[in-house]
Homo-oligomer: A and B are copies of this chain.
Amino acid sequence: MDLSERKRKILQAIIDEYIGTAEPVGSRAISKKENLGLSSATIRNEMADLEEMGYLVQPHTSAGRIPSDAGYRFYVNSLMSNYKIGMEAVAQLQALLKTRVSQLEKIIKYAAAIASNLTEYTTVATAPSVNDSQIRKIDLVNISSHTVMLIVVTREVKSRAINTEIDEKNCEVLSRILNSKLAGKKSSDINFEMFEEIREETEKNTSLDSKALAEMIRFVYDIITEDSETEIYVNNAKSILHYPEYSNVDKAEKILSFLEDKENLRKIIETDNAEGIKAKIGKENDFEILQDCSLVSVNYSLRNGSGGRLAVIGPKRMNYSKVFASLDLISNEIDKILGYYMDGS
């Protein structure tokens, strides 16, 4: 599928124009762009060719052309220009991410927010998954006469307030036993039998009511083995309403519903773990509701192997070059920070 230089230029001009206006592009509009000195009639001939080749479609006879999915695909693969993000924006981004570096859990949340600011599209991101990391410490702290806070430290901190009658002294003994048996282990290596030992040993060394103890152990087991449900962040979903494509409120509502369901989001964002920035254009998306959208995503990773994904969702006629540039910038910055921060093990 080779295109003449002229066809490439015309196709590019049409798509650029359409991205800006969301209106079918006519031959005259293109011919008036000074850079190629061609009359509208010539452009018309070329456009007819491009339509035949499948890159353009005509919504109706007397309208201009709009890009087809294939047209966008060609544009993304070989036509789009390099977008240059302003130095100030870059500096701002770096500064902002740096101030958040002490709240590692949240860095992706901020990154996703920044991405949606930069691009003005909806963004979806998964927090870095920290499954299966080593247990560093388990702690039981009495916070009121019958509430104990259970804390498990791995790479992250999980906690649970538990309603129980275990007193401070017994808490101490129990937490000492828990640590001696479990600290240093990976959560995937832990099974319920280990807790049987813990129960026995604790019963020997404390005056604990065996029912309260069993309950407590159950909680510890749960908190350790539960999949730390990786958070998923959505930003700027409402931007959908901006696009004429979704001026139909019903359609807009459907997609907003879709974006509210974390399950869906997980699916669309986790299908692809490819390196680098990937675009899914229109019908390339598995979900029917996204077939008028494009999804551009990138994964970031920590040196220890865990990572996550950050995606931009917008209309098919999104500003691809800007989106690609933004994601590139952001994922680089994140990799820098996280790589440094989380390295070693």
Taking a contact as CB atoms under 8 Å apart, the answer to whether B343 and A144 are in contact is yes
Taking a contact as CB atoms under 8 Å apart, the answer to whether A145 and B253 are in contact is no
Chain A residues within 8 Å of chain B by Cβ, number: 45
Interface string of A234-269 (1 = CB under 8 A from B): 001010011000010100110011001000000000
Interface string of A123-145 (1 = CB under 8 A from B): 00000000000001101011111
Taking a contact as CB atoms under 8 Å apart, the answer to whether A253 and B249 are in contact is no
Number of copies: 2
- Bound Cα distance from A155 to B145, whole angstroms: 12
Residues on B with C-beta less than 8 A from A136 are 141-143, 149
Q: Is A344 an interface residue (CB 8 A)?
A: yes
Taking a contact as CB atoms under 8 Å apart, the answer to whether B219 and A238 are in contact is no
Q: Is A332 an interface residue (CB 8 A)?
A: no
Q: Is A341 an interface residue (CB 8 A)?
A: yes
- Bound Cα distance from A241 to B103, whole angstroms: 35
* Contact of A241 with B256 at beta-carbon distance under 8 Å, contacts A104-B161, A342-B147 already known: yes
> Nearest chain B CB to A318's CB is how many angstroms away?
18
Residues on B with C-beta less than 8 A from A217 are none
* Contact of A219 with B344 at beta-carbon distance under 8 Å, contacts A151-B153, A153-B149, A241-B253 already known: no
> Nearest chain B CB to A189's CB is how many angstroms away?
18
Taking a contact as CB atoms under 8 Å apart, the answer to whether B342 and A160 are in contact is no
Q: Is A102 an interface residue (CB 8 A)?
A: yes
A161 touches which one: B102, B144, B145, B159 (CB < 8 A)?
Answer: B102
8 CB-based A-B contacts, threshold 8 Å: A103-B161, A104-B161, A143-B153, A145-B345, A151-B153, A163-B341, A238-B260, A242-B253
Interface residues of A (CB under 8 A from B): 101-105, 136-137, 139, 141-147, 149, 151, 153-157, 159-163, 219, 236, 238, 241-242, 247, 249, 252-253, 256-257, 260, 340-345
Can you name 11 extra interface pairs (CB under 8 A) apart from A147-B344, A238-B253, A249-B252?
A: A102-B161, A104-B161, A139-B151, A141-B153, A145-B344, A151-B157, A156-B159, A161-B341, A163-B340, A238-B260, A241-B253
